[in-house]
Amino acid sequence: MKHISRRATLASFLCSVALAGAAAPALADCGIASGRVSIVGNEFPAIKSVAAKAAECAIASVQIKANLTADHQKINLPGMQGNPAEYTTAIVATSSIVALLNGDVVRPLDDLVAQHGADIPARQLITIDGRIMAVAFMANSQHLVYRQDVLAQVGVEPPKTYEEMIEAAEKIRAAGIMQNPVGGAYAAGWNLAQEFVNMYLGQGGEFFEPGTARVAINNERGIAALETMKALSAYMNPDFLTHDSNATSAEWEAGNVALMNMWGSRTGRLMDAEGSTPEVYENTRVGAPMTVGGGSIPATTLWWDGWTVAKNISDEDALATFLAMKHGTSPALLNDKTMGEAVWMIDGYVPAEVNEGVLQTMAMGARPYPMLPYMGLLHTALGDNIADFLTGKEDAATTLADIEAAYTAAAREQGFLN
Amino acid sequence: MKHRTFLWFFLPTATAMFLFIALPVASVLVQSFYAPHEQVIREVENCTVFGCTKSTTIDQEATRALREAEPLGRFIGFGIYADRNHLAFAEVARAWRASSGWADFRGRLLNLPFYGALAFTLSYTAVVTPFSILLGFVVALAVNAIPRLMRGPMIFVSLLPMIVTPLVGALILFWMIDARGILGAALQGLAGDPGLSVKASTPLMWAALMVYGIWSTTPFAFVVYYAGLQTVPQDTLESAMIDGASRWQRIRYVLLPHLLPLTTFMALIKIMDNFRVFEPIVSFNAGAHAQSLSYFIYSDLGGETRLLTSAAATSVLTIAGVIVLLSPVLLRTWRTFGKASA
C-alpha cells in the first residue's frame, strides 16, 4: 500500500537504518541449494516480519538481503528492468503490481507453484489471465474507526453509512465535545484520490468504459461522490488537505477526532497504549466500512499485499527466491507478536479484535481496488484536481472534466489512447 | 596564454561540462520527443482472494514487437509539449474563444496545470529574489557594523537557515504555522479569528511558502555581501565622511555602486534557484494550493505509472523558462563586458 506519505520517507528511512541490525535471524532449512534473493518492498510492521522470516533461509551459498522503504514504488521497476535484475522479488499490493505487469518484469509462477508450492493455499494465488503472477499473504482495507465514549455521550450508534456519519458529527459538534469530529486522510495527492475511489465505488460507479482505457467518471455518481466528500470535509480540521494517513492518525491519538475512515493496517497502533492517553486508546473501536447514497456495497476498496518473482533472473535465483518467500509467508511466520500485525491470509491465522474492520469489509463484498494498466494515471489525475473542488475554486462538473482531460492527456502519452 | 596551453588548461572542465551538463540536457531533449508505444490491451479475468473480476492487461507479446522495431519509442515531436498537461495550445485557444472577458480568460488559463504552476513559480521568483537580496544586504551591513569580537557568533547565527537541510527547514516552519503551532496560534490571536488556518487558505499558503523562501535564501545573499563589504576601499569611505556624507549617502553613493557586480551575480543565481522552487511545496504538503514546474516533474516520476516523456518535456520547459528570465541580466552583463574590453 502507498498510504505512507512521502514526507514520512525520511523518518522511516532513519527507522529502517536503526532496525537493520536488530534482528539476528535463526537459521532454517528452506531447501535452497544456492542462489541470490533480494527483496524490495514497502516498510511497515507486517512486511518487516515477512522479510525477516525469509532471511532465515540464508546459508553460506544463499545470499538474502532486503530493501524495505516507503519509496519502494520508485525503485522496484527500475531495479527489476536490468538483466540480471537487482531485485529478485518485489513485495507489491493491488495497485503497485500493475506497474510491474506493465513493464513486463515479473515471472509467471505456475511452474514453480506446481513443483514446489503444493502447500500454498489456492486463495493466496493471484492469477492474471489464468497465470499465477503473485502470492498474496495479507489483506487490507479502509473502514470505520470510532470513539465509543464520544458516540455514547451523544447517544448514537456507530454509523453504517456516510450520511449517518455526518449526522453523528453534527451532534458531536452541537454538543460542544469537538469542533471538528471527523478525521480523514484527505491530503492532496494519492490519499485524496483514494478517498474519491472509495466514494465513487460506493456510489456504484465504474471508472472506465468496459474493456477500454476511456475514462467515464464525469457523471451523476462522480458528482455525488465529490459532494459527499465536501460535506464530510466541513466537519474536518480546516487543514484537511495537508493531512495524510500519518497526520490523521496523529490527530486521532491527540483525541481531536471521533470518527474516521482508516486503513486496517494502522488500527493496531491506534489501539495500543503508545502515543496517546487511556481515554483515547481504551475507547478506540473499529467497525465495518460505511456505505453511501443508499448503495449496497461499502464505499471502500479491498487490497492484498503479496510477493512476485522477477523475470530477468536465472532459474536458480528464481527458485531460491520462491522458496525463501514461501518460507517468509508460511504458517511458521505467525506468533504472538506477528499475529495482530495484519489480516494474514496464511493458514493458522486467528483474527484479533483490531482486524475486525478488514474482515467485515471482505464479508460485505467490497470491491477490490481496480487492477487496470491505466488506473495509476487516473489516480494521479484525481489527486491533482479534487482539491480545487474542495477549496471551492470550481464546481464538481468542472473538476470532473479537468480530471478526465488530465487523465486523457497522460493516457495518450503512455499509448493507452489514440 | 597560448591557445595550446589554454586548450590543455580548459580541457578537463570542458570534458566535465560536456559529460555532466550537455549530454544529459541533450538526452532529456531527445526523450521529450518520444513517447511509449501504443499499448495493445486485452480483456482478461483476474482472480484474487476477493474473487474474480473482468479486467484488462497489456498484451506483452504484441507490445514487444512494437518495442523492438522502435526502441526509442514512437516519435511524437512536440506532441507532449502541446498537450493539455503542458503548454495546452488547443485548450488556451478554446478558453480564449469561450471567455467573456479578461478576468474570465485568466481564470480559465490558470485552471490549466502548466499556467497555474507558472503563475505561482513566477510570483515566487518575483517576490523572493528581491526580498532575499535586500534582506541579505541589510544583515551584512548590520553584522559589519558590530564590534569584531561579536562578529563570529553573529555570522554563524545568520547562516543557520542555509545550513539546515531545505526539506527539514521547511518542515519546521510547516509545524510552526499549524493551527496549533506557535506562529499559527499567534496569527489567530492577532486576527481575532480562532478558525483561521494558514494551511487551508491559498493566499496564506503562498505567503508562507514565500516567507520560507526568503528565510532560507537570505544567508546566501548575506555571505556574498559581507565578503563584498570587506573589499570596499576605506579611503573612499573616509573621504566621503570628510565631505560630510551621511551613513545613507555613503551606502547609496559608495557601497551600492561598488557591490553592483555582486548584485548582478546574485540575481542570476537566485532567479535560477527560485524558478525551480520545489522543497517547500513537498514539505508543506502544499500541492492543493501551489504547484511549480519542478513539482510536476517530481509527480510525473513518482506516480504509480511514471510519465517519462512528460517529465522530460517539463524539464526542457523549465530550462527554457530559466533562459527567458535570465536573458535581461545576461544581456546586461554581456554589454558591460563588451564595454570593458573595448
Summarize pLDDT for A225-270 with one digit per residue, the tens: 999 999 999 999 989 999 988 889 999 999 999 999 999 988 888 9
Residue A405: list chain B partners with CB under 8 A. Answer: 84, 91
Please state which of the four CATH numbers 3.30.830.10, 3.40.190.10, 3.40.50.300, 3.30.70.260 is assigned to the domain occupying A9-140+303-363: 3.40.190.10
Instruction: Say if residue A84 is preceded by a cis peptide, omega within 30 of 0.
Output: yes
d(CA A55, CA A38): 10
So what's the pLDDT on residue B180? 83
Residue A382: list chain B partners with CB under 8 A. Answer: none
The structural domains of chain B, ordered by start, are 115-341 (1.10.3720.10)
- Cβ within 8 Å, pair A99-B80: no
Query: Which residue type sits at B302?
Result: G
So what's the pLDDT on residue A137? 95
Query: Which residue type sits at B69?
Result: A
Residue A98: list chain B partners with CB under 8 A. Answer: 304-305
- Cβ within 8 Å, pair B283-A412: no
Which residue from B49, B168, B289 is facing A123, i.e. has the nearest CB? B49
pLDDT at A26 over 70: no
What residues of chain B, 149 to 188, have a C-beta less than 8 Å from chain A? Answer: 167-168, 171, 178-179
Beta-carbon contacts of residue B216 (< 8 Å; ≥ 6 apart) = B161, B162, B164, B166, B169, B170
Q: Which residue of B has its CA nearest to A376?
A: B304
pLDDT in tens, A108-161: 999 999 999 999 999 999 999 899 999 999 999 999 999 999 999 999 999 999
pLDDT in tens, A128-142: 989 999 999 999 999
pLDDT at A14 over 50: no
Q: Which residue of A has its CA nearest to B295?
A: A384
Cβ-in-10-Å burial (0-12, 13-18, 19+) of A333 comes to buried
d(CA B79, CA B76): 5
Q: Residue A119 gets which letter from DSSP?
A: T
Is residue B68 less than 8 Å (CB to CB) from chain A? no
What residues of chain B, 8 to 37, have a C-beta less than 8 Å from chain A? Answer: 35-37
The fold of the A141-301+366-413 domain, in CATH, is D-Maltodextrin-Binding Protein; domain 2 (3.40.190)
So what's the pLDDT on residue A294? 93
- Cβ within 8 Å, pair B282-A128: no
The radius of gyration computed from the CA coordinates of chain A, to the nearest angstrom, equals 22
Distance of CA A152 to the CA centre of its chain: 31
- Banded model confidence at residue A22, pLDDT cuts 50, 70, 90: very low
- Cβ within 8 Å, pair A345-B49: yes
Beta-carbon contacts of residue B17 (< 8 Å; ≥ 6 apart) = none
Is residue A303 less than 8 Å (CB to CB) from chain B? no
Is residue B67 less than 8 Å (CB to CB) from chain A? no
Residue A241: list chain B partners with CB under 8 A. Answer: 199-200, 285, 288-289
pTM above 0.95, yes or no: no
Residue A125: list chain B partners with CB under 8 A. Answer: 47
Is residue B310 less than 8 Å (CB to CB) from chain A? yes
- What is the mean pLDDT of the segment spanning B223-230? 94
- Cβ within 8 Å, pair B199-A241: yes
Q: Which residue has the cell 532496525?
A: A19
Query: Which residue type sits at A189?
Result: G
Alpha-carbon gap: A27 to the closest alpha carbon of chain B (Å) = 31
Q: Which residue of A has its CA nearest to B296?
A: A384
Q: How many CB atoms lie within 10 A of CB B180?
A: 12
Cβ contacts from A onto B, under 8 A: 183
DSSP string, A288-349: PPPB-TT-SS-SSEEEEEEE--BSSS-HHHHHHHHHHHHHHTSGGG-STTTGGGSEE-STT-
CB B257 within 8 A of CB B228: no
What residues of chain A, 105 to 124, have a C-beta less than 8 Å from chain B? Answer: 123-124
Residue A311: list chain B partners with CB under 8 A. Answer: none
- Phi, psi at B305, each rounded to 5°: -110, 115
